[in-house]
């Protein structure tokens, strides 16, 4: 399928053709609603300030965060995802941009109070995880935070099956400790059907 270069952002570190998935309607990661773990967290801890949501897809998480935040920017490398996200009614001051987390535009670097991680980390090749940590750190301003759901067990037959790719708590410690301080972590009480007990939430502060 041919695409005009001006309409498609070539991913620097994500070899999967996410645009093709959206165009063909093959989006098993999209559940049509925000993450239950995120909803439970926001009920007690609404995010204020500026929030970045990498790999935002159709923007379900973006919109629920935007009800309290100053501004939420959802980014994705798939033009069809961004187009679809923009069709939903706004819930606050949110916007969607075609952008690659690993090559953020200058105006999106060092400006966020929060990064919300849900489906981006598990989608990238595990060899790129250190680059992911650096990219998130570069998006935050000093004192910023990362709030994340990590996929400990996607249910594949082999750790290399994916995306989504699994990660262990030990690996999370090793990956994030150089740039982030662990503030809290917990097993979310709710998850999408079939993901119960497979996810792990963490709140981290940029060092």
Supply the pLDDT for residue 184: 98
Sign for the CA dihedral angle at 76, 82, 86, 88 comes to negative
In a domain, 101, yes or no: yes
Supply the pLDDT for residue 75: 98
Virtual torsion, Cα 192, 98, 136, 31, nearest 10 deg: 0
The alpha carbon of 114 is separated from its chain's Cα centroid by a whole number of angstroms, namely: 11
In a domain, 165, yes or no: yes
Residues of the chain with pLDDT under 50: 1-15
Supply the pLDDT for residue 24: 80
Supply the pLDDT for residue 11: 40
In a domain, 73, yes or no: yes
Provide the residue range defining the domain that includes 147: 47-201
Supply the pLDDT for residue 21: 76
Supply the pLDDT for residue 18: 81
In a domain, 18, yes or no: no
In a domain, 157, yes or no: yes
**CB count in 10 Å sphere of residue 92:** 15
Supply the pLDDT for residue 27: 73
Tokens of 57: 């897809």
Report the mean per-residue pLDDT for the chain. 89
CATH for 70: 3.40.50.150
The number of domains in the chain is 1
Supply the pLDDT for residue 160: 63
Supply the pLDDT for residue 14: 43
In a domain, 194, yes or no: yes
In a domain, 26, yes or no: no
Supply the pLDDT for residue 156: 61
In a domain, 125, yes or no: yes
């Amino acid at each position: 399928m041919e695409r005009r270069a001006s309409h498609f952002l070539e991913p620097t570190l994500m070899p999967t053709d996410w645009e093709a998935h959206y165009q063909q309607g093959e989006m098993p990661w999209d559940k049509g609603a925000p993450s239950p773990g995120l909803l439970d967290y926001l009920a007690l801890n609404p995010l204020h300030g500026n929030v970045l949501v990498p790999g935002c897809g159709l923007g379900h998480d973006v919109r629920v965060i935007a009800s309290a935040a100053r501004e939420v920017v959802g980014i994705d490398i798939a033009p069809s995802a961004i187009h679809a996200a923009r069709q939903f009614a706004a819930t606050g001051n949110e916007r969607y941009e075609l952008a690659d987390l690993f090559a953020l535009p200058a105006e999106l670097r060092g400006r966020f109070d929060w990064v919300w991680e849900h489906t981006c980390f598990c989608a990238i090749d595990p060899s790129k995880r250190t680059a992911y940590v650096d990219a998130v750190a570069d998006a935050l301003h000093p004192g910023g935070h990362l709030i994340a759901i990590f996929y400990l067990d996607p249910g594949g037959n082999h750790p290399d099956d994916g995306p989504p790719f699994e990660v262990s708590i030990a690996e999370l410690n090793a990956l994030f400790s150089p740039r982030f301080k662990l503030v809290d972590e917990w097993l979310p009480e709710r998850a999408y059907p079939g993901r119960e007990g497979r996810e792990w939430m963490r709140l981290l502060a940029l060092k």
